[in-house]
Amino acid sequence: MKADQIDDVVKLLREAYRGFVEPVVTQVAKDKDPYKVLISTILSLRTKDETTLRASIRLFDIADNIYKLNELNEDEIERLIYPVGFYKTKAKNLKKIARIIIENYGGKIPDDLDELLKLPNVGRKTANLVLAKGFGKPAICVDIHVHRISNRLGLVDTKTPEETEFALSKILPKKYWIEFNDLLVPFGQNICRPISPFCSKCIISKYCKRKGVNKSR
Ligand code: SF4
């Protein structure tokens, strides 16, 4: 795929998107609340979407802002978020995050990449998602789906999600930065699957170099 075909591919992915279930963080992000985007994204790491959604709802019912989260103890957070992956470590880190945000940022989630990256359990993927979905700032959230599909398409040639983020930031028009993750995550879950993608029913196959794809359906 060439960079000048991005407009066409995005249009087709938007069409495909209508038939998919939205990723959980996209659902949570409808409130445009950076706190909820941050916490849900942390819960979603190594966790299935349905589990993340249920855990987010339970937690936000009790703690819909950083101050209420800070009032909970680790055991209470653990109980509310169980069974998300690494729930014990996440409970510990959520408690720490609440304290840091209140003490160092006046209770407001920072809208700055470097500041977000200082928080425990927050890597580039989470930080960029908070900027994009919580604050509406142009940021490319590269998770395993965005990384894998961008490489298969031949849009980038990279080894890590971080390299993909930097490569995409050079070729992807800024108007698509926020949306790109939304489009590629459900597409990766449903069509361009990690093992044996459904190339025969792929809406963007004519643009794809299928780099690294040895087996497909
Ligand atoms: S053609 Fe296959 S490898 Fe390429 S984007 Fe579609 S499903 Fe993925």
Alpha-carbon gap, residue 103 to 92, rounded angstroms: 17
**Could you say which architecture CATH assigns to the domain 3-21+140-207?**
Orthogonal Bundle (1.10)
Q: Tell me: pLDDT of 21 over 90.
A: no
Alpha-carbon gap, residue 37 to 182, rounded angstroms: 14
For ligand 1, is residue 205 a contact (CB within 6 Å)?
A: yes
Please give the pLDDT value at position 76. Answer: 98
Please give the pLDDT value at position 156. Answer: 96
Q: What percent of the chain has pLDDT over 90?
A: 89
Q: Is 208 annotated as a binding residue?
A: yes
Half-sphere exposure of 171 (CA within 13 A, CB side): 17
CA 141 to ligand 1 centroid distance, Å: 20
For ligand 1, is residue 191 a contact (CB within 6 Å)?
A: yes
Please give the pLDDT value at position 77. Answer: 98
| Residues in Cβ contact with 143 at an 8 Å cutoff, skipping those fewer than 6 apart | 125, 161, 181, 185
Q: Is 141 annotated as a binding residue?
A: no
**Tens digit of each residue's pLDDT (9 = 90 or more) over 24-83:** 888 888 888 999 999 999 999 999 989 999 999 999 999 999 999 999 999 999 999 999
Q: Which atom of ligand 1 is the closest one to the Cα of 205?
A: 1
Q: Tell me: pLDDT of 94 over 90.
A: yes
Q: Tell me: pLDDT of 2 over 80.
A: no
For ligand 1, is residue 172 a contact (CB within 6 Å)?
A: no
Provide the b/e sequence for 66-101 (b: ≥16 CB within 10 Å). Answer: beebbebeeebbbebbeebebbeebbbbbbebbebb
Average pLDDT, the chain: 95
Please give the pLDDT value at position 18. Answer: 85
Backbone angles phi, psi at 165, to 5 degrees: -60, -45
CB 174 within 8 A of CB 136: no
Q: Is 199 annotated as a binding residue?
A: yes
Please give the pLDDT value at position 4. Answer: 82
Q: Is 202 annotated as a binding residue?
A: yes
Listed by start position, the domains of the chain span 3-21+140-207, 33-135
Q: What percent of the chain has pLDDT over 70?
A: 100
| Range 149-166 average pLDDT | 97
Q: Which atom of ligand 1 is the closest one to the Cα of 197?
A: 7
For ligand 1, is residue 45 a contact (CB within 6 Å)?
A: no
For ligand 1, is residue 152 a contact (CB within 6 Å)?
A: yes
Q: Tell me: pLDDT of 98 over 80.
A: yes
With bands split at pLDDT 50, 70 and 90, how would you rate the model's confidence at 23?
Answer: confident
| Range 124-141 average pLDDT | 96
CA 150 to ligand 1 centroid distance, Å: 10
| Range 134-146 average pLDDT | 96
Q: Tell me: pLDDT of 6 over 90.
A: yes
In CATH, which of 3.90.180.10, 3.60.21.10, 3.40.50.300, 1.10.340.30 is domain 33-135? Answer: 1.10.340.30
CA 122 to ligand 1 centroid distance, Å: 30
For ligand 1, is residue 132 a contact (CB within 6 Å)?
A: no
CA 198 to ligand 1 centroid distance, Å: 7
Q: Tell me: pLDDT of 101 over 80.
A: yes
CA 197 to ligand 1 centroid distance, Å: 6
